[in-house]
Amino acid sequence: DGGITQSPKYLFRKEGQNVTLSCEQNLNHDAMYWYRQDPGQGLRLIYYSQIVNDFQKGDIAEGYSVSREKKESFPLTVTSAQKNPTAFYLCASSIDGETGELFFGEGSRLTVL
C-alpha cells in the first residue's frame, strides 16, 4: 500500500540533544512537508521541499533542519537550539506542491525530559 511512514512514533530526548525524525513516502510525490502540532493549535509549517536537493523554510524553521537527498525521504532534525521542542510532528506529501491536498503520516510525538 502507498503511504507515508514516520518513525519513531514516540521519542524521548534530554535537553541539549539533537534528534532526527524519519519520514519516508512511496507515493512518488514531488513535494514533502513537516508540520508541528501543539494542543489546541492548528498545524504550523516547519520546512517544505518541492524537489530533491531543495527545501524552503516555513513559518517556524528556527531550531530545525532538514535534508532532501532522495525523493522518498525527508528527515527532520530537531536541534538543541529549538527552545520548546516537545510536540507532535507530522510529515506530509503532495503530488506536485501546487495543490493543498496533502497526505499525512501518522506522526511522531517528541517529549523533551
- Return residues touching other proteins (CB under 8 A): 4, 6, 31, 33, 40-45, 48, 50, 56, 58, 90, 92, 94, 97-107, 109
Least distance CB 79 / other proteins (angstroms): 22
29 or 78: CB nearest other proteins: 29
C-alpha span between 10 and 85 (Å, rounded): 13
Contact yes or no for 90/76 (Cβ under 8 A): no
C-alpha span between 100 and 15 (Å, rounded): 35
37 or 73: CB nearest other proteins: 37
C-alpha span between 6 and 24 (Å, rounded): 7
Least distance CB 83 / other proteins (angstroms): 22
Distance of CA 33 to the CA centre of its chain: 6
Least distance CB 109 / other proteins (angstroms): 7
